Structure 1
Amino acid sequence: MTQDSIELEARETWPALWCGWRRKCPNCGSGPMLRGYLKVRDTCPVCREELHHHRADDGPAYLTILFVGHLMAPLLLFVFETWRPEPLTLFTIFAVGCVGLTLYLLPRLKGAIVAFQWARGMYGFGGAANRA
């Protein structure tokens, strides 16, 4: 068994996902993963773990659309069938709700995807090539 495989076995997925959801470094759990709203830092400022290997791409956006759509569509139907609000009122409430939920979920899902890649050793995370 090589050193790389031992190091990857020690990386637990769920704690890393939780750190990513909180937008923290999956290695130390305290350093900020993101610089700004969605930009992933090249390295963690606390533990110096390299984070530039990530390949989140469009994954967070797709998951955000999936979650927001599956939460808001049934809620929209329920509100419409139950209270029959005016169309402009219904549109305003759900437009604000969709935008708010999207802005909340997008950076958290990006952090979780980067943390998942880190925990599984994907795309150069944890390999011998990224060690000094």
Structure 2
Amino acid sequence: MAETDTQDAPVDRNAKSAMWRGFCRRCPHCGEGHLFTGYLKVVDRCPVCQESLSGHRADDGPAYLTILIVGHLLAPILIYSFVEYRPDPLVLATIFTIGTVALSLFLLPRLKGLVVGIQWANGMHGFGQRH
């Protein structure tokens, strides 16, 4: 496919589909190309539709969202487990440390993709204006 400038053509920037595509770690524009080259490095251009993705400014937002979600999911489970089953504190700490790390590593790239999708859909930062 020849490289084209997609900012000149009107683009349907549906926020819900862009957020879902980002969450699935796909290009928010076409949903086909990979959003990341590594674990968290966003590609400069989509390999399929050539949409420029280098203008994103996700910064610390995905990390804050990850902490918020993981904390709200695991804290009640931790309290319930301790009160109901009274496991050894070292066992409880080990299990919840592993669970916290695993869930955080799973959610972080997905939430970064979601934030990039929101920014793309709203024409924020380097993504141009909404059409």
CA drift of 1:124 comes to 2.3
Any idea what SS the aligned residue of 1:53 has? coil
Instruction: Give the paired residue count.
Output: 123
Tell me whether 1:11 sits opposite 2:13 in the alignment. Answer: yes
| % same residue | 58
| 2:46 equivalent among 40, 44, 47 | 44
Maintained 8 Å contact 2:54/2:126: no
CA drift of 1:110 comes to 0.2
Any idea what SS the aligned residue of 2:10 has? helix
Root mean square deviation, CA, Å? 1.7
CA drift of 1:71 comes to 0.7
Structure 1 stretch displaced more, 18-27 or 117-126? 117-126
Any idea what SS the aligned residue of 1:29 has? coil
Corresponding residue of 1:64: 66
| 1:84 equivalent among 76, 83, 86 | 86
Superposition map of 1:99-118 within 5 A: 99-118=101-120
TM-score normalised by structure 2 residue count: 0.89
CA drift of 1:7 comes to 3.5
One-letter code of the match for 2:86?
R
Measured against aligned partners, the alpha-carbon deviations of 1:31-87 in whole angstroms (never above 9, x if no partner) come to: 000110000000000100000000000000010011111111111001001100001
TM-score normalised by structure 1 residue count: 0.89
Distance between the aligned counterparts of 1:52 and 1:124, measured in 2? Answer: 7
Corresponding residue of 1:130: none
Maintained 8 Å contact 1:12/1:119: yes
Maintained 8 Å contact 1:64/1:105: yes
Structure 2's unaligned 5+ residue stretches are 1-6
